[in-house]
């Protein structure tokens, strides 16, 4: 437990799974909390437990981030509370159905939550961070951001957005003392899987991490200054090679003439 006061962390999707573990760990690191999700009962129970265990102040905001009016309510909290120093964009839903057999309205709802809400909450938080000289954003992406073949393709697309958006945020905000981390979990033992259509018990145990281990590793990655954190990836040189290839291509991607191999 920490005596430090690090300001307030606002955690979305804190009523269960990964978000609830972030809430617990961040309180133990000295943050007060604002916890956001739809299930008010679960949020209140978690807030009471964490408050009692850590002595930190824990507030809850019941909101459906896929609904415009509720999303605006949380944006207003981020714009108005000058003590917020960390935004954890964690709320999200997935899908396991193949792209073309998935219900398109559900796909749209997934984009509303995983992309639109995350983007709007970031826009609501960042100007205050800049004005106050610092802050941090942890965006929960997924390994499907770089491996969209594994699950539903729209889900992969939403998480690729989270990674690309985070890369751009890091590029634009690092010199303003704003830390940005993108977390790319592999399969993690939460309700996510049953909601997405495949209970986690159906996955081979050796590819599933506990939410506790996933969050603890990601927070260590944050402490170590990582931008992209893939908790399960043993050989970090592979991620570096991926990034090196991206950086090597960057100066060559836009030219007045097509590449010679097209013979134009
Ligand atoms: P989870 O246990 O199902 O948690 C999802 C959280 O998001 C819950 O607190 C849920 O709370 C909240 N949420 C869902 N819809 C919402 C809405 N419309 N408005 C507000 N809150 C909403 O799943 P999880 O695994 O912890 O997922 C957290 C994040 O990790 C997601 O972004 C997911 O894509 C990502 N992720 C998970 C895995 C995995 O294998 N589990 C792997 C990679 C990435 P309410 O139902 O109370 O609203």
Report the C-alpha gap between 126 and 169 in whole angstroms.
10
**Run of H or E residues at 188:** strand 188-189
Q: Are 194 and 202 in contact (CB under 8 A)?
A: no
- Its pTM stands at 0.97
pLDDT for residue 161:
98
Report the C-alpha gap between 175 and 173 in whole angstroms.
5
Percent over 90 (pLDDT), the chain: 96
Q: Does residue 1 carry a pLDDT above 60?
A: no
Residue 181: name the closest of 120, 122, 111 by CA: 122
Kindly report, residue by residue over 137-158, the tens digit of the pLDDT.
999 999 999 999 999 999 999 9
pLDDT for residue 238:
98
Residue 96 tokens, joined = 């396991």
Kindly report, residue by residue over 178-204, the tens digit of the pLDDT.
999 999 999 999 999 999 989 999 999
Kindly report, residue by residue over 88-130, the tens digit of the pLDDT.
999 999 999 998 899 999 999 999 999 999 999 999 999 999 9
Report the C-alpha gap between 65 and 74 in whole angstroms.
8
Ligand 1 pocket, Cβ-based, cut-off 6 angstroms: 13-19, 37-39, 42, 63-66, 90-94, 113, 140, 142, 185, 187-188, 190-192, 195
Delineate the domains of the chain, giving CATH numbers in brackets: 8-237 (3.40.50.720)
pLDDT for residue 5:
79
Kindly indicate the confidence band of residue 4, based on its pLDDT and cuts at 50, 70 and 90: low
Q: Are 168 and 151 in contact (CB under 8 A)?
A: no
Report the C-alpha gap between 197 and 96 in whole angstroms.
6
- Give all strands of the β-sheet with 84-89 in edge-to-edge order: 58-62, 32-37, 8-12, 84-89, 135-140, 178-183, 228-229
Percent over 70 (pLDDT), the chain: 98
Atom nearest to 93 CA in ligand 1: 34
Mean per-residue pLDDT over the chain, rounded: 97
Which of 91, 116, 215, when mutated, tests ligand 1's pocket best, judged by the most ligand atoms within 8 Å of its CB? 91
Residue 186 tokens, joined = 């592999």
Report the C-alpha gap between 12 and 113 in whole angstroms.
11
Residues with active-site annotation: 155
């Amino acid at each position: 437990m920490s005596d430090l006061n690090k300001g307030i962390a606002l955690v979305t999707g804190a009523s269960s799974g990964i978000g609830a573990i972030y809430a617990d760990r961040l309180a133990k690191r000295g943050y007060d909390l604002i916890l956001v999700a739809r299930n008010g009962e679960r949020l209140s129970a978690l807030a009471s437990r964490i408050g009692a265990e850590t002595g930190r102040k824990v507030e809850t905001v019941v909101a459906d981030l896929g609904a415009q009016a509720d999303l605006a309510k949380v944006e207003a909290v981020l714009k108005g509370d000058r003590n917020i120093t960390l935004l954890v964009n964690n709320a999200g839903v997935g899908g396991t159905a193949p792209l073309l057999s998935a219900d398109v309205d559900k796909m749209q709802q997934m984009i509303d939550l995983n992309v639109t809400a995350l983007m709007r909450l970031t826009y609501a938080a960042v100007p205050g961070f800049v004005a106050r000289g610092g802050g941090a954003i942890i965006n929960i992406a997924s390994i499907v951001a770089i491996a969209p073949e594994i699950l539903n393709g729209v889900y992969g697309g939403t998480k690729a957005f989270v990674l690309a958006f985070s890369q751009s945020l890091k590029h634009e905000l690092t010199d303003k003392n704003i830390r940005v981390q993108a977390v790319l979990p592999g399969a993690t033992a939460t309700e996510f899987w049953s909601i997405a259509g495949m209970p986690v018990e159906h996955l081979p145990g050796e590819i599933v991490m506990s939410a506790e281990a996933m969050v603890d590793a990601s927070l260590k990655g944050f402490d170590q200054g990582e931008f992209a954190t893939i908790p399960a990836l043993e050989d970090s040189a592979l991620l570096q090679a991926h990034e090196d290839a991206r950086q090597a291509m960057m100066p060559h991607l836009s030219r007045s003439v097509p590449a010679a191999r097209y013979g134009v």
